[in-house]
Amino acid sequence: MTSMHTHPFLNTPTALAIAHRGGALECEENTLPAFSHAVALGYTHMELDVHATRDGVVVVHHDPDLTRVFKDPRRIADMDYAELRQLRSPKGAEVPKLEDVLTQLPTVCIAIEAKSRAVVAPLCALIQRLGVMDRISIGAFDPARTELARQSLGPDLLWSPAHGQVARLWARGWGVPLGLTDFKLVQVPAVWKGVPVVTPRFVRAAHQAGIAVQVWTVNDSAEMTRLLDMGVDGLMTDRPTLLREVLTQRGAWPLT
């Protein structure tokens, strides 16, 4: 169904394969080695998370602190980038700047999760400075963050809504005529708190509204197959090698 969309981020003939954090079960997540690994596998799309340092540098990391990946308990928001860049992961990776990811991987499209309100302004400034609107999407669990990004970047921004709009879209799948904000992409879990989100009704309602459905985070081959058979437009996975195998078996790899 992606052919119905015109944004370059969505312009693929088959379901998108998206390396979640670069492939968190195959590499140290959200690092340049992880993203390079996914590119070497043939991936054209990644998902990553961003925070802002104390001095406003946009860096790629999921958690607010550095404990889990870098074994350092400090919070990113409490550090200047000059301090942060001294850290190394157990395998020697740095906390990358988003700018470095975008410039070192110039053909890769990136789904960006804004992890705080503080990161939105420098994130939008960076996107504008680099001219990469056609390579990115923005999402956040806090709808205020995406609203700030929309205000800053304008109607050409490809963005994914938070739970409120997703719930309205889900209800439309059951025939409830609820209005939707003007979005063209939803990035959602297959199941949320025990409730199936991505169902044939949901996918059908989304496609009828011209909305692409990308599902996170899918790490099981049977679940990948089930969702692809349902007609979703993309899968985010921590296991990019496995998803490539599944898509290859379906004749949908390489992505063109």
Q: What per-residue confidence (pLDDT) applies to 14? A: 87
- Cα separation values, 200 from 3, 4, 175, 197, 225, Å: 19, 18, 13, 10, 14
Annotated catalytic, 5? no
Give, for all 256 residues of the chain, the pLDDT tens digit. Answer: 444 567 878 877 889 999 999 999 999 999 999 999 999 999 999 999 999 999 999 999 999 999 999 999 999 999 999 999 999 999 999 999 999 999 999 999 999 999 999 999 999 999 999 999 999 999 999 999 999 999 999 999 999 999 899 999 999 999 998 888 889 999 999 999 999 999 999 999 999 999 999 999 999 999 999 999 999 999 999 999 999 999 999 999 987 6
Nearby residues of 107 by Cβ (< 8 Å), 6 or more positions away: 44
Beta strand pairing call for 185-189 and 159-160: unpaired
Q: What per-residue confidence (pLDDT) applies to 194? A: 94
Task: Match 């990308």 to its residue by tokens.
Answer: 214
DSSP state of 21: T
Three-state DSSP class for 90?
Answer: coil
The active-site residue out of 20, 37, 45, 51 is: 20
Task: Choose among 116, 24, 23, 28: nearest CA to 78.
Answer: 116
Backbone angles phi, psi at 36, to 5 degrees: -65, -35
Distance CA 166, CA 187 (A): 9
Q: What per-residue confidence (pLDDT) applies to 256? A: 63
Sketch out the chain's domains with CATH numbers.
2-249 (3.20.20.190)
Annotated catalytic, 62? yes
Q: What per-residue confidence (pLDDT) applies to 5? A: 64
Q: What per-residue confidence (pLDDT) applies to 119? A: 99
The active-site residue out of 7, 45, 51, 62 is: 62
Q: What per-residue confidence (pLDDT) applies to 2? A: 42
pTM of the model: 0.95
Beta strand pairing call for 45-52 and 16-20: parallel
